[in-house]
C-alpha cells in the first residue's frame, strides 16, 4: 500500500483475517510481463497453513491468468470491507470554525504473495466442497456438491483451475476517522447510524470501536 499513515494502519492478525472471512471477494491483481491482470475471485483463508496463512480459490480454465503464474509472478489480493461517505456536517467542529471537508471511510486488507495454479481433481473437489460449505451455511436448506450428478460435477471440475497464494505479507488499512477529534468521531457515528443502512451501520461500528479508549 503506497499511502498508509500510522494512525490508519491495522496490524492485528485476527482483525485482518476476520475482514477476509466477512468479505471474501477479492480484487486479485497479478503482475505479468509488465501488465496488470485483474480478476475478482472469492478466496478462502487457511489461516494455519504457512507462516502467514494461505488463500485458496479458483478461476475458469478459459481465464488466461492461471497460465501466467509459472514465472513466480507477484500478486496482491485486495479485500474491501465496510465503506461509507462521511459528511462534514456531522462534525461539531464545523459549527465552530467551518474547517471541514467530506471524506470517505473504509477498511481494506491487502494480501501479498506469489500465486500457484493446480488442477488436481481431488484438491479441486475439496476446494469447491469447502467453498460450498462456508457460503451455504446460512441457507435454510444448504446446497451440497453431492446434490448434483457426479458426471456434472466432474465436467465442472474440468472447467476450473485452482489458485493458491501462500501469503507473504498482510497490510491492513482502517480509515475510520481516527484523525478526527473525539467529538467529531462521535458525530460520524451518529450521522451514519441515522442513515440506518447496513453499510452505514457497519462503518459506524468500526468508528465506534476505534473511538473507545
9-36 mean pLDDT: 95
Q: What is the pTM of this model?
A: 0.93
Q: How many helices (H) and strands (E) does the chain have?
A: 6, 9
Triad 159, 164, 166: Cα angle to 5°:
175
Alpha-carbon torsion (102, 78, 66, 39), positive or negative = negative
pLDDT tops 70 at residue 98: yes
pLDDT tops 80 at residue 159: yes
Residue 213: the pLDDT is 62
% pLDDT > 90, the chain? 88
Distance CA 115, CA 59 (A): 12
Q: How confident is the model at residue 129 (pLDDT cuts 50, 70, 90)?
A: very high
Q: Where do the H-state alpha helices sit in 3-139?
A: 13-22, 92-97, 121-136
Residue 72: the pLDDT is 73
> Which of 69, 76, 90 shows the shortest CA–CA distance to 161?
69
Amino acid at each position: 500500500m503506497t499511502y498508509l499513515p500510522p494512525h490508519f494502519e491495522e496490524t492485528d492478525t485476527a482483525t485482518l483475517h476476520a475482514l477476509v472471512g466477512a468479505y471474501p471477494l477479492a480484487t486479485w491483481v497479478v503482475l505479468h510481463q509488465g501488465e496488470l491482470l485483474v480478476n475478482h475471485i472469492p478466496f478462502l483463508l487457511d489461516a494455519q497453513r504457512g507462516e502467514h496463512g494461505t488463500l485458496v480459490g479458483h478461476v475458469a480454465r478459459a481465464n488466461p491468468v492461471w497460465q501466467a503464474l509459472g514465472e513466480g509472478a507477484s500478486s496482491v489480493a485486495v479485500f474491501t470491507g465496510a465503506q461509507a461517505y462521511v459528511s462534514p456536517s456531522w462534525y461539531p467542529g464545523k459549527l465552530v470554525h467551518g474547517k471541514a471537508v467530506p471524506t470517505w471511510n473504509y477498511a481494506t486488507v491487502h494480501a501479498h504473495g506469489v500465486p500457484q495454479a493446480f488442477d488436481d481433481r481431488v484438491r479441486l473437489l475439496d476446494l469447491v466442497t469447502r467453498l460450498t460449505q462456508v457460503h451455504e451455511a446460512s441457507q435454510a436448506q444448504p446446497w451440497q456438491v453431492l446434490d448434483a450428478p457426479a458426471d456434472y460435477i466432474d465436467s465442472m471440475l474440468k472447467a476450473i483451475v485452482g489458485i493458491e497464494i501462500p501469503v507473504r505479507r498482510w497490510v491492513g488499512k482502517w480509515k475510520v476517522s481516527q484523525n478526527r477529534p473525539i467529538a467529531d468521531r462521535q458525530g460520524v457515528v451518529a450521522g451514519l447510524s441515522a442513515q440506518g443502512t447496513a453499510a452505514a451501520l457497519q462503518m459506524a461500528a468500526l468508528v465506534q470501536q476505534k473511538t473507545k479508549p
